[in-house]
Chain A
Amino acid sequence: MIDFIKEVVNKLVGKKAEQRYCCKDCLCRLNLVLDGEGTEEEILYLQEHIEKCAPCYDHYNIEKSVKEVIKHKLEQRPVPPTLIDSIRGNINKNCV
């Protein structure tokens, strides 16, 4: 029945509908897997799926790259050298 509906939709609005359907279907799995929260089954599904589905493969690469730029491109500010001593002093003063 679902296949029939997809077929009709495809005929009406073209191949785009198929692509949207695919992306919607695996989007949740995609983020779960990239965030390290996917089950073995979900990881396997995604790996197999993105080999066959170009829109999902592109989407996977974008999501992965967004995560990577946040992880690797943001500059880490150095901790002010006085902060650690000041924390120790504060603790000794306030928590005797």
Chain B
Amino acid sequence: MEEQNSKTTYKSKEEKDSLFEKEFMHLIGPLYNFGYRLTFDEDDANDLVQETYLKAYRFFDSYEKGTNAKAWLFRILKNTFINEYRRKTKEPNKVDYQEVESYYNSDDINETITSDLRVDSLNNMIGDEVANALNALDVDFRTIIILCDLEGFTYEEMAKILDIPIGTVRSRLHRARNVLKEKLNEYAQSMGYKDQRKKND
């Protein structure tokens, strides 16, 4: 039976390299896309992923076999981004800091944006419009939506990746979704205006 949650052990560099490849290399797609969605830049995403794999290799001994390799790599990439890239990254359409701050500090988790966002307008949206709405979010909000809705991490995994308590995961996710729905609604409405114009032509 395979040993669960044990420290990774290997006898030679070849064995280490082979284990490393097997555990981590197939995750390069989601990692690269995560890097790109954080930085909006192909070169920066490239550097982030390179750095992430280099660190993962250096710390491979502390990786516990049988734990979630994807969550471990995402955590390293996120920390690398915060330490090295965040300050110099260009962020278009960034949400006003004050607005984000008030969302964070608000106690009412049940507060919901009641918009006229409709299921059929969501279904009619194209990928670019969804991407624009997501990219307009502050990086912390964008990150948690990517981790939860795109990558399907559990709340517990997200808490570890982001170094925050599970309660904060839930509240941040809730607020991120409210802002996302607002942005999606803006796109849906502008689409509606376009449809109206076509009818009038």
Cβ-defined contact, A76 with B29, below 8 A: yes
How many contacting A-B pairs (Cβ < 8 A)?
Answer: 101
A95 at the binding interface (Cβ < 8 Å): yes
Cβ-defined contact, A75 with B127, below 8 A: yes
Cβ-defined contact, B130 with A70, below 8 A: yes
Cβ-defined contact, B28 with A70, below 8 A: no
Cβ-defined contact, A73 with B119, below 8 A: no
Report the interface size class on chain B.
35 or more
> By DSSP majority rule, is chain A's interface helix, strand, loop, or mixed?
helix
Cβ-defined contact, B154 with A37, below 8 A: yes
Contacting B at CB under 8 A, from A59-96, are 59, 61-63, 65-71, 73-77, 79-80, 83-84, 86-87, 90-91, 94-95
Of the listed stretches B86-94, B97-105, B173-181, chain A binds B173-181
Cβ-defined contact, B49 with A83, below 8 A: yes
Q: How far is the CB of A12 from chain B (nearest CB, A)?
A: 20
Contacts of B127 in A (CB 8 A): 73-75
Cβ-defined contact, B117 with A70, below 8 A: no
B126 at the binding interface (Cβ < 8 Å): yes
Picked from A65, A70, A77, A79, the residue with its CB within 8 Å of the CB of B145 is A70
Q: How far is the CA of A60 from the CA of B107 in the complex (A)?
A: 23
A23 at the binding interface (Cβ < 8 Å): yes
Cβ-defined contact, A65 with B42, below 8 A: no
Q: How far is the CA of A8 from the CA of B122 in the complex (A)?
A: 38
Q: How far is the CB of A83 from chain B (nearest CB, A)?
A: 6
Contacts of A27 in B (CB 8 A): 110, 112
Cβ-defined contact, A87 with B49, below 8 A: yes
Specify the chain A residue showing the minimal Cβ separation from B109. Answer: A28
Q: How far is the CA of A75 from the CA of B122 in the complex (A)?
A: 16
Picked from B25, B117, B123, B181, the residue with its CB within 8 Å of the CB of A84 is B25
Contacts of B29 in A (CB 8 A): 76, 79
Contacting A at CB under 8 A, from B35-75, are 36, 42, 46, 49-50, 53-54, 57-58
A residues in contact (CB < 8 Å) with B: 23-24, 27-28, 31, 35-37, 59, 61-63, 65-71, 73-77, 79-80, 83-84, 86-87, 90-91, 94-95
Across chains A and B, which 3 residue pairs bring their CB atoms closest together, nearest first?
A70-B149, A65-B122, A73-B130
